[in-house]
Amino acid sequence: MERVLFKYVDEPEQYRIDNYIKNGGYQALPRVLKELPPDELIDLVKKSGVRGRGGAGFPAGMKWGFVPKDIGRPKYLCCNADESEPGTCKDRVLMERDPHMVVEGIIIASYAIQAHTAFVYVRGEFVYPAHRMEEAIKEAYEKGYLGKNILGSGFDLDIIVHTGGGAYICGEETALLSSLEGDRGLSRIRPPFPAIKGLYASPTVVNNVETLANLPHIINRGVDWYRSHGTEKSPGTKIFSLSGNIARPGNYEVDLGTPLSYVINELGGGVPGGYKLKTIIPGGSSTPLLMPDQIDTPLDFESMAQAGSMLGSGAIIVIDERACMVWVAMKLINFYAHESCGKCTPCREGTAWLKQIISRIENGGGQTGDIELILDACKNIMGRTICPLGDAAVMPTESIIKHFRDEFAYHIEHGKCLVKTDYPFE
């Protein structure tokens, strides 16, 4: 399968601008600046059908199209490099190994919406990726791809790298913008949407690292080529981060629409040690589970939704028969309770309560009625929150109970795991 984003990812010096250019980089940008006025560029990207790679899958061109043209306020482009969805580790690789591809994508996207300041919001823990991005940006300035009058086109752009303080919620776009403005990273209600009122109450587009990385390729090789990869509604390639009980964990780039079984078995080598596959979290911890009989589900937005889950960020976590699902549920809810920003009541209080109840079940103190209580609390959180973090906490919890209710019941009745294993789950 053709590698697009990862084509040069294994070349040790690809992050240097000379190598990036040697390998075909910074050709899309001059073409765009010379031949594609912003409106046409937006149209082209719309036609390509590229969808957001951060988890929501919103068509990028359509998002750009929402930005109002003449409202007397500056526009901003924000590259969301706050990769925090559990299981996801693709953006860091792009930033570390091929940062110029991301930079070129940022410049193209900024040009499309006529933003003259772009930000890269990198999670604070990504010291090295942020460093690589800063170096790449410096090189780009030196070669005239950034700054004033880029390549004589009259377009100015500055990119600023900003590191976060360590919060998953800052991957959510409104919290990201709050953090970027210097406030605490709390989500904001939408409407107004960032494309209308975002950073500093000005039109802002927030795009994921991988989404932006797609842009130079779409420009260079055209819409038809891009659409020849993937499916009709989910064109292009995607990087999947494979982890868990898998022989070959890592990042794999495949066409969208590739069956999940191909990624897990052919590329990932399947579940090692002879253990049976129990369940799969397909798109980052916030997505509902897929069961082994769904392993052939194609990895595209529609198919995943039809299967009752989501493509999400593409983080595939493989779980084998040794795992106690109550323990898995506890690990996940711990994460969400810890990361909740605390602004809205259902998520703040609800995730903390769910954590208490599920932990109690896992630790042997579960009480009759706990499962019903969990599900009822979930109903009071789902769809009632400011941002999707509440939903993200609820979906895996509900899904795990739906498929593995017997394990919960066993825990409650007997005070210990149904699953017999000596694997040291910590």
Partner 1 sequence: MADNGKDKVTLTIDGHTVTVDKGTTVIEAAKNIGIEIPYFCWHPKLDSVGACRMCLVEIEKFPKPAVACATDVMQDMVVHTNSETIVKARRGVIEFLLLNHPLDCPTCDKGGECDLQDNVFKYGVDTSRQTFTRKRVIDEDTHTTFDDKRIGPEIIRNMNRCVTCFKCVRFNKEIAGEYDLGAYQRGADTVIDAPPGRQIANLYSGNVVEICPVGALTNTDWRYRVRVWLTKTADSISGYDADGQNIKLWYDHRQIFRATSRRNDAVDEGWICDIARYGYQYVNAEDRLTTPLIKKQGKQVESTWEEAIDLIARRFKEIKDKKGSVCIAGLAGGNQSTETIYLFNKFFRHVLHSNSVDYRLDYIDLKDGEDAAAYNSLSSAPFVIADLGKTDAVLVFASNFIKDHPIVNLWMRKAHRKNNARIFTANPVETKSADISEDELIYRPDTEAAFLAGLLHAVIDNKLYKDIDDGKAADVKGMLNPASLSEAADICGINADRIIGLARALAEAKNPYIIAGEYLNATPHRHVLANGLYNLANLLSVADGQAVIPASHANSAGAERVGLRPTIPTHLAELLAEKWGKPLPEPPGNNTSKILKGALREDIDSIFILGANPAVRYPDGPFVNAALDKLDFLVVADLFETATTAKADVVLPLAGWSEQDGSFINLEGRHQRFERALPPRRAGIKRGVEIIRKVAEALDVPLEEDDNALRRETEEVLAAWKCQPRDRNQYYPVRPPAAVEHGDYPYRLLTGNDLHHYGYLTEHCPSLMRFTSEAYLELSPRLVEKLDIAEGDLVRVESVTARLMLKAKISDFFEGEVVFIPNNFSAMPVNELISHESGGWVKIEKLDE
Among 307, 352, 375, 409, indicate the residue that binds partner 1 (CB under 8 A).
352
- Closest distance between partner 1 and the C-beta of residue 129, in Å? 23
User: Position 158: which residue type?
Assistant: D
C-beta of 270 vs 342, nearer to partner 1: 342
Is 26 in contact with 20 (CB distance < 8 Å)? Answer: yes
Any contact of residue 353 with partner 1 (CB under 8 A)? Answer: yes
Q: What are the beta bridge partners of residue 334? A: none
Give min distance, CB of 380 to partner 1, in A.
3
DSSP sequence for 64-131 = HHTS-SSSSS--EEEEEE---STT--HHHHHHHH-HHHHHHHHHHHHHHHT-SEEEEEE-TT-HHHHH
Binding mask 286-315 for partner 1 (x = CB under 8 A): ------------------------------
* Helix or strand (DSSP H, E) at 320: strand 315-320
Binders in 164-203 for partner 1, by CB under 8 A = 167, 169, 184, 188-189
Q: Which of 46, 116, 331, 348 binds partner 1 (CB under 8 A)?
A: 348
Residues from 322 through 341 that contact partner 1 (CB under 8 A)? 337-341
* Token reading at 70: 């003449």
Q: How far is the CB of 376 from partner 1 (least distance, A)?
A: 8
Q: Among the candidate windows 8-16, 71-79, 312-320, 377-385, which touches partner 1 by CB under 8 A?
A: 377-385
Q: Is 380 in the site for partner 1 (CB under 8 A)?
A: yes
Q: Compute, in degrees rounded to 10, the torsion defined by CA atoms 45, 46, 48, 53.
A: 80
Task: Find the shortest distance in angstroms from Cβ 9 to partner 1.
Answer: 34
Minimum distance, C-beta of residue 177 to partner 1, in the bound complex (Å):
14
The smaller minimum CB distance to partner 1, of residues 275 and 353, is found at: 353
Instruction: Note whether 99 binds partner 1 by CB under 8 A.
Output: no
- Strands across the sheet with 315-320, in order? 250-255, 237-244, 315-320, 277-281
H or E element at residue 317: strand 315-320
CB 290 within 8 A of CB 244: no
CA geometry: angle 9, 253, 316, nearest 5 deg: 120
Could you tell me which stretch among 40-48, 121-129, 345-353, 408-416 binds partner 1 (CB under 8 A)?
A: 345-353
Q: Strand pairing partners for 77? A: 118, 205
Residue among 78, 209, 344, 401 that touches partner 1 (CB under 8 A): 344
**300 touches 231 (CB < 8 A):** yes
Q: Does 123 bind partner 1 (CB under 8 A)?
A: no
84 contacts partner 1 (rule: CB under 8 A): no
Strands (E), 157-296: 158-163, 204-208, 237-244, 250-255, 277-281
- Judged by CB under 8 A, the residue of 45, 386, 393, 400 near partner 1 is 386
Q: Which residues bind partner 1 (CB under 8 A)?
A: 167, 169, 184, 188-189, 337-346, 348-353, 356, 360, 367, 373, 377, 379-381, 383-386
